[in-house]
């Protein structure tokens, strides 16, 4: 069974829900405390042992490439000013030469199409997909938990991260059916996109983290457009599930939908309160604001 070495980050979206902030800056570069969203997600992948980071970009996303590149002028300035701590932090965040690849999604044809655009770089091996809109705060990274489950399965399978969602909100998510339980996962019996509450197969929603087998690319190549006139990854996974097993991992941790303003603001509060250097003063300011 091949090891999970590569991760795909679809970062070509327009970020219309955050206009005008995203008019000139990619939504993935919006900061949660002092780190861009995309950096938080790359950190999660690195903690899980990912060795190759594949970014599917679009127009006006060059700043993401710059963020993960070496900047001589900045490094030189920090060196001259004796900012060794800042230098070391930036170096730790930067992928080493050859560890990051960038490819373009020329047209906004959906998540499935974005994943398909990475096919030549991924090659014939299983890979992870992490949506940068979703942050997962966990002691052991969400993707690491998924890789644990993948290895425990002992056979080539596909893994989806899931979490409990209140039934009154379930119609806003992709939802999975629950089958046989395994040590670290369960077999997925169904995947339903945004079901009505009474038709939902469970209260477990899909959370924007996937481990997929390379056969998904052939399906995506011929996948018809679905909801919103886009090529949907869920549609392709449903087709792949006819031939390959899918497992769900109910991860330990808290997710934040940073594609919504409330989720983004909540993530900033949660991550700030987890910082020893910020938490005491920030908590005091929150108390003032809340009366």
Q: Domain coordinates of the chain in residue numbers?
A: 6-290
Question: What pLDDT is stored for residue 23 in this prediction?
Answer: 87
Residue 218 reports pLDDT greater than 70: yes
Looking at residue 256, its pLDDT comes to 96
Between 58-67, 207-216, 277-286, the lowest mean confidence (pLDDT) is in 58-67
**Residue 75 confidence class, pLDDT cut points 50, 70, 90:** confident
pLDDT for res 287: 94
Considering the chain, what is the average pLDDT of its residues?
Answer: 91
Residue 279 makes CB contacts below 8 A (sequence gap 6+) with: 272, 273
Pull the structure tokens for residue 88. Answer: 């070391």
State the Cα angle at 55 between 51 and 61, rounded to 5°. Answer: 145
Q: For the ranges 62-76, 139-153, 247-261, which has the lowest average pLDDT?
A: 62-76
Specify the pTM. Answer: 0.92
Residue 177's nearest CA partner among 167, 186, 169 is 186
Distance CA 84, CA 77 (A): 11
The CATH number for 6-290, chosen from 3.90.550.10, 3.90.199.10, 3.30.365.10, 3.30.565.10, is: 3.90.550.10
**Confidence grade of residue 227 (pLDDT, cut at 50, 70, 90):** low
- Cβ atoms of 161 and 191 closer than 8 Å: no
pLDDT digit string, tens, across residues 122-131: 999 999 999 9
């Amino acid at each position: 069974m091949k090891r999970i070495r590569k991760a795909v980050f679809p970062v070509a979206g327009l970020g219309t829900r955050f206009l005008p902030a995203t008019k000139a800056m990619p939504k993935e570069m919006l900061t949660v405390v002092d780190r861009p969203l995309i950096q938080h997600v790359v950190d999660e992948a690195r903690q899980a042992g990912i060795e190759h980071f594949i970014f599917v970009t679009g127009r006006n996303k060059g700043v993401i490439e710059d963020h993960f590149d070496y900047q001589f002028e900045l490094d030189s300035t920090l060196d001259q000013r004796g900012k060794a701590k800042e230098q070391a932090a930036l170096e730790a965040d930067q992928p080493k030469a050859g560890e990051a690849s960038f490819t373009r999604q020329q047209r906004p044809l959906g998540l499935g199409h974005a994943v398909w655009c990475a096919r030549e770089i991924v090659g014939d091996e299983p890979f992870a997909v992490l949506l940068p809109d979703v942050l997962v705060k966990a002691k052991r990274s969400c993707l690491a938990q998924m890789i644990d489950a993948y290895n425990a399965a002992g056979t080539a399978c596909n893994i989806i991260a899931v979490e409990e969602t209140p039934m009154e909100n379930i119609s806003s998510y992709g939802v999975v059916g629950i089958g046989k339980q395994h040590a670290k996962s369960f077999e997925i019996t169904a995947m339903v996109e945004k079901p009505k509450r009474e038709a939902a197969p469970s209260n477990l929603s899909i959370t924007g983290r996937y481990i997929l087998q390379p056969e998904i690319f052939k399906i995506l190549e011929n996948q018809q457009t679905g909801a919103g006139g886009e090529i949907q990854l869920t549609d392709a996974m449903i087709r792949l599930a006819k031939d390959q097993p899918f497992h769900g991992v109910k991860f330990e941790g808290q997710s934040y939908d940073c594609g919504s303003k409330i989720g983004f603001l909540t993530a900033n509060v949660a991550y700030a309160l987890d910082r020893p250097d910020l938490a005491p003063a920030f908590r005091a300011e929150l108390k003032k604001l809340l009366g």
